[in-house]
Amino acid sequence: MAEFPLHLIPILPFIGAAIALLIGRRLGKNVITLLCCGSVAAAFIVSVKGFLVLHHDLPPTGALVGRFFEAPWIKAGDLNISAGLAMDHLSAILCLVVTGIGFLIHVYSTAYMEHDENYTRFFAFLNLFTGSMLILVLGDSLPVTFVGWEGVGLCSYLLIGFWLDKDANALAGRKAFVVNRIGDFGFLLAMFLIYSRTGTLKYTELAGHIDQLSAHIWFGLPVAYFVGLLVLVGATGKSAQIPLYIWLPDAMAGPTPVSALIHAATMVTAGVYVVARLHFVFEAAPVTLAVVAVVGAITALFAATIGIAQRDMKKVLAYSTVSQLGFMFVGVGTYLNNTHTANYQAGIFHLVTHAFFKACLFLGAGSVMHGLNGEGDIMRMGGLRKWMPHTRWTFLIACLAIAGIFPLSGFWSKDAILGGVWHASWLTSGPPTNFLEKMAFAKDGDQFVIHLGHFLYPVLLLAAGCTAFYMFRLYWLAFGGEYRGPAVSSAALAHAVGDAHDTHAAHGHDDHGHDHAPAHESPPAITVVLWILAIGAIVIGFLGIPEVVRPGFDYFGEWLSPVLPPLVADESASEFWMFAAIALAVSGIGIGLAWVLYGHGPAVAVRNFVARAPRLYRLVFNKYYVDEIYDFLVVRPVRFTAFLLWKAFDAFFIDLILVNGVGFLVSGFGKLSKYLQNGDLQRYIVALIVGGAVIVGVGTHYDVWAGAKFETAVAGRDVRVVAHGAGTTAKRLQYRVDWEGDGKFGATQPSPNFKHTYDKPGSHKIAVEAIDPRWGTVSRESRTVKVQ
């Protein structure tokens, strides 16, 4: 542990955001640009410094701690949570990705959003997001991470709905927010569960307390299982996995840089990060890792197939992101029970490489739309290679990377995942210890497990093939063939596609669109960023060349090893190359198919196919109707319940009974008292007199001052009664006694002393009356006595 001013990393973007939000409008665009980009760049520099300190000055297991925030944060009874920051080898990488790619996207945005009237707000939110993401990454405990987690969710919401003048954007933002909330709920529950069992939420302390999570059994399962599954729920929300992925494609309503930064490179990987961060919890419950992997694999294939049929450039990339996140989930979910190691490194590695090539792809798409004045439909593009060479080349590189073509980065990270999952075996080889394992084992010991891994491998392979296919379909439809868009004139350019929101950014280029080219290359701020990311997408993979291929070159794995132990699999070099060859072949098939069908624009076969629109096509094109299914299964029941609640509870009970009821009571009283308050003075006087009469009448019947209390003394059958007249009238009171409680009173006398002898034993009810002779008032008290 070494101290380091870690707080600077998130604080710097926050300061930028605060200044931009508070006084940004007065500062002017240039200052905002400098401030926001500069603060993120500064954060990047501090991150690099932290990385170097971590690399050079500390032992491999060391970590940096930032004590700046480390004051008691939440204190209640035994609960004592401090807000601390820590940077270990894992968060250092994430930090570099967030600040580095974040900075590039900031630079890109200066050109992309140049003509947006809400330039300041955009950069403020972008900075806010960066800071929140850094809090998430650097948090040394779950609550701090959760603050960042919610912060990025908020920023995502704000930025999806950035162009809030259109309802669709606001709805998309709301959808993202609501769906994420489901995940957040799981995350929160996991946090509570962990705290209730271990008493700590710090990652470093948690690792030592993990046996407490395994020791507690709930419903026949260690609590670790529930924690793992709840964390997974949170992760599926944030990382857009089945079943909560539906918000991500809609999130493309935001500006393209946002899609690149938040919905491709950083925020959506938070789920992967948290799973890796809490890896010890998952290892205590290996089946949950299997669930992670299965969810990831299904999502990967599912989203990839949807991506094939999408026509919107950003939608394709969105589904691609969902699919690639599925790969990452498989990576972090891969577990080998015989070596007790998991493939977190591959998942994180893919996270990093994906950040580069997917950011490059999104920014390329943004560049294309920028050049086409907001056109996002790939069917109306084509031939753009002529006008947008930089965009075209960088896009091609990124496509090759995501398709996993040797030796680009995607190849290495994807093969690390694919190779790992083949070997995966999640369950202990010993006798099953709980019913979940018993169910999974069936009868054949761990055979089932092997099969599960072998099932996931082809699924992923297919997903990889689909990825290659739709990415190159996208590439060729956009850049290959001939331009298929509407005939262009500069005037038409300015207004034809006005409904697409990226026109906001593009309007400024109208004035130099006189060459009648349908598209134009983007300014340097965009192309330079694209090239940096493309180069990153090429070279970043070389940091993670597996040991079996070339020992000593797995810098990435070596770096992560202190935090995330590497997967120890019995894999030889030849096996690796075999997997690589298979994956390459599948990708090649995908690319080839894409070339045949889309190499020169959509082939006739494709047009016919789409025109006939068979059921399968429609199914995929409509994203498997998942939104509709959710609408039917979740939204409508919720709406119906809400409707019922609204009608039955809100409208009827609250509004009618309570609100209107009170009003009705008041107005009813008003209507009644209207007859009293009729302005007729004389009736008021009558009321006064009646009131006086009532007071006199009641007052003379019940003497509130007189109270007859009496005491009894029993001796054998003799009973003595002593009455006490109370109040101011006591002096003149007279008394009489009813000895049997039958209403027959004895003589009235001024003396309060009475004596009576009963004939027979038993209970007798005695009543004593005190009489005020002047007013004729009587007060009575009775009691039961027992005589022998």
Q: Which is nearer to other proteins, 429 or 677 (CB)?
A: 677
Q: Which residues, in sequence order, are bridge partners of residue 778?
A: 771
- Cβ burial of 144 (10 Å; 0-12, 13-18, 19+) is buried
Of 183-191, 550-558, 562-570, 691-699, which part binds other proteins (CB under 8 A)? 691-699
Beta strand pairing call for 762-772 and 777-787: antiparallel
How far apart are CB 516 and other proteins at their closest, in Å?
A: 55
Q: Which stretch binds other proteins (CB under 8 A): 127-135, 235-243, 391-399, 678-686?
A: 678-686
585 binds other proteins (CB under 8 A): no
State yes or no: residue 774 binds other proteins (CB under 8 A). Answer: yes
685 forms part of the interface with other proteins (CB under 8 A): yes
By the rule CB under 8 A, 693 interacts with other proteins: yes
Residue 588: both structure tokens together: 């090649």
SS3 113: coil
Interaction pattern, residues 484-523, with other proteins; x per rule: CB under 8 A = ----------------------------------------
Count of all residues that appear for the chain in the document: 788
Instruction: Work out the end-to-end distance of the chain between its first and last CA atoms, rounded to an integer number of angstroms.
Output: 89
If the CB atoms of residues 596 and 685 are measured against other proteins, the closer one turns out to be 685
Q: Which is nearer to other proteins, 498 or 776 (CB)?
A: 776
| Residues in 699-718 at the binding interface with other proteins, rule: CB under 8 A | 700, 705
Tell me how far apart the alpha carbons of residues 87 and 94 are, in angstroms, rounded to a whole number: 10
Phi, psi of 419 (to 5 degrees): -65, -40
Evaluated on CA atoms 385, 390, 393, 394, the torsion sign reads negative
Shortest Cβ 778–other proteins spacing (Å): 16
Q: How many residues in the shown chain lie near other proteins by CB under 8 A? A: 23
> Coil, strand, or helix at residue 767?
strand
Is residue 138 within 8 Å of 9, Cβ to Cβ? yes
Judged by CB under 8 A, the residue of 682, 751, 763, 788 near other proteins is: 682
CA–CA separation, 531 and 550 (whole Å): 28
Strand pairing of 2-3 and 64-66?
parallel
When the beta carbons of 683 and 755 are compared against other proteins, the nearer one is: 683
Pair of tokens at residue 697: 């009448």
Cα–Cα distance, 261 to 36 (Å, whole number): 15
**Residue 255 DSSP one-character state:** -
Q: How many CB atoms lie within 10 A of CB 439?
A: 11
Q: What is the closest distance, in whole angstroms, from the C-beta atom of residue 677 to other proteins in the complex?
A: 7
Q: Where does this chain touch other proteins (CB under 8 A) — which range of 16-24, 354-362, 688-696, 779-787?
A: 688-696
22 or 686: CB nearest other proteins: 686
* Nearest of 776, 576, 609, 602 to residue 696 by alpha carbon: 776
Question: Which parts of 421-450 interact with other proteins (CB under 8 A)?
Answer: none
Residue with Cβ nearer other proteins (429 or 673): 673
Whether 429 contacts 286, CB under 8 Å = no
Told to check if 672 binds other proteins by CB under 8 A, we report no
Task: Give the nearer residue to other proteins in terms of CB position, either 542 or 705.
Answer: 705
Q: Which is nearer to other proteins, 622 or 677 (CB)?
A: 677
Which CB sits closer to other proteins, 616 or 693?
A: 693
Angle at 492 between CA 486 and CA 496, to 5 degrees: 75
Binding other proteins by CB under 8 A: which of 49, 507, 732, 783? Answer: 732
φ/ψ (deg, to 5) at 59: -65, 160
Q: How far is the CB of 669 from other proteins (least distance, A)?
A: 16
What's the closest the beta carbon of residue 725 comes to other proteins, in angstroms? 14
- CA 557 from centroid of its chain's CA atoms: 29
Of 681, 742, 744, 788, the residue at the interface with other proteins (CB under 8 A) is 681
Q: Tally helices (H) and strands (E) across the chain.
A: 31, 15
Q: Residue 683, interface with other proteins (CB under 8 A)?
A: yes
Q: Which of 130, 135, 155 is nearest to 145 (CA)?
A: 135
Q: Taking contact as CB under 8 A, which single stretch among the options 144-152, 311-319, 517-525, 690-698 is the one that binds other proteins?
A: 690-698
Binding mask 615-654 for other proteins (x = CB under 8 A): ----------------------------------------
Structure tokens at 648: 């039955």
Cβ-based neighbour number of residue 697 at 10 Å:
10
Instruction: Provide the residue type at 368 as one letter.
Output: V
Q: What is the DSSP letter of 251?
A: G
Distance CA(311)–CA(314), nearest Å, equals: 9
**Smallest separation (angstroms) from other proteins to the CB of 731:** 8
572 binds other proteins (CB under 8 A): no
CA atoms within 13 A on the CB side of 471: 33
Region from 384-392, 400-408, 603-611, 675-683 binding other proteins, contact rule CB under 8 A: 675-683
Window of 242-250, 360-368, 493-501, 677-685 that interacts with other proteins by CB under 8 A: 677-685
**Is residue 680 a contact residue for other proteins (CB under 8 A)?**
yes
Minimum CB separation from other proteins for residue 706, in Å? 12
**Can you spell out the DSSP letters for 490-549?**
HHHHHHTTTTSTTHHHHGGGGGG-TT--S--PPPHHHHHHHHHHHHHHHHGGGGG--TTT
**Is residue 389 a contact residue for other proteins (CB under 8 A)?**
no
Structure tokens that stand for 736 in this block: 């009489």
Q: Please, are residues 155 and 102 in contact by the beta-carbon 8 Å criterion? A: no
Cβ of residue 680: shortest distance to other proteins, in angstroms? 6
Contact stretch for other proteins (CB under 8 A) within 35-43, 452-460, 687-695, 713-721:
687-695
CB of 687 to other proteins, least distance (A): 8
Closest CA relative to residue 591, chosen from 460, 473, 478, 457: 473
Q: Minimum distance between the CB of residue 689 and other proteins, rounded to whole angstroms?
A: 5
Is-cis flag, bond preceding 407, omega within 30? yes
Nearer to other proteins, 489 or 677 (CB): 677
Residue 617 tokens read as 């096509």
Nearer to other proteins, 23 or 693 (CB): 693
Q: Of 644 and 704, which CB lies nearer to other proteins in the complex structure?
A: 704
Site for other proteins (CB under 8 A): which residue of 495, 607, 618, 674?
Answer: 674
- How many Cα neighbours within 13 Å face the side chain of 465? 15
* Shorter beta-carbon distance to other proteins: residue 30 or 682: 682
Q: Quick check: 690 binds other proteins (CB under 8 A)?
A: yes
* Centroid of chain to Cα 120: 26
Binding residue for other proteins, selected from 178, 539, 581, 689, defined by CB under 8 A = 689
Q: Applying CB under 8 A, which part among 12-20, 476-484, 567-575, 693-701 lies near other proteins?
A: 693-701
Tokens encoding 138: 């650097």
52 counts as binding other proteins under rule CB under 8 A: no
Distance CA 678, CA 670 (A): 11
Nearest to 99 by CA among 124, 68, 76, 132: 132
Q: Does 696 bind other proteins (CB under 8 A)?
A: yes
Quick one: which of 208, 508, 692, 746 contacts other proteins (CB under 8 A)?
Answer: 692
Min dist CB 754 to other proteins, Å, is 24
Of 668, 697, 716, 750, the one binding other proteins (CB under 8 A) is: 697
Closer CB to other proteins, 20 or 706, in the complex:
706
Chain residues binding other proteins by CB under 8 A are 674, 677-683, 685-687, 689-690, 692-693, 696-697, 700, 705, 728, 732, 774-775
